[in-house]
Structure 1
Amino acid sequence: MLNKPTLSVAETSRILDAARAEAEKNHWAVTIAVVDDGGHPLALLRLDGCAPIGAYIATEKARTAALGRRESKQYEDSVNGGRAAFLSAPLLTSLEGGVPVVVDGQVVGAVGVSGVKASEDAQIARAGAQSVAH
């Protein structure tokens, strides 16, 4: 039987806190979503001023990173590079801002952020993911 690390409430809270701190430091109104390794929601935080659609987009970015085991930007790069077929992939968004959470070499979940420029969304997501990664 295999054993693997999983995100607990404590780690999920740490991820949200780190991502929120990064967003607030830069005065960015975003939504932050945290999912488990299967893409199932663990937490969602929409900061004041973020559009309601941010909740949907952030969750889909996180789900994409968790299921794909890579940053959602890699799908965006593929689409921009001519692989339009990724646009029809189920449960995936090809937008930058989803980052996997890796612990002991295994993806245990992901963080998705939406609300500002794509690279800024990713910056916030990385801050959250790196708060528990090792």
Structure 2
Amino acid sequence: PDGLDTMVGDQGAALSGGQAQRLAIARAILKGAPIVVLDEPTSQIDVETEALLNRALERLCQNKTVLLIAHRLSTIEQADRIVVMDKGTVAEMGTREELLAEKGLYSTMIRTKQEVEAEALHPAPAV
């Protein structure tokens, strides 16, 4: 309500998890650092806000090296390179297209995500 003059409490205590997360991302981008590390940047936000944030990050992170750690597959769809970790080791590495063509762990996760989304849109009839 008070814009930039809003009191957020000691260490942001008055902020929700999503608000604190968005503020931290904004600070990282505005700092102008050539390397940005984002650890689960969309974990505390809803799907609509995630889509807006991903588009904004794509624009704001041009000409920067971004290390993005994420569990949500939608968060990394636009990445230049994807590293898939499994049980603490690198399982796969490549572009989205390369990983989909390999039909490995990443491809399996994407296929499962698509099946779940399709089922949500067209649920099986009740018996």
Q: TM-score range by the shorter chain?
A: 0.3 to 0.5
TM-score, length basis structure 2: 0.32
TM-score, length basis structure 1: 0.31
- Which structure's relative contact order is higher, taking Cα pairs within 8 Å and 6+ residues apart? 1
Which one has a larger percent helix, Structure 1 or Structure 2? Answer: 2
- Give the number of the structure whose alpha-carbon radius of gyration is greater: 2
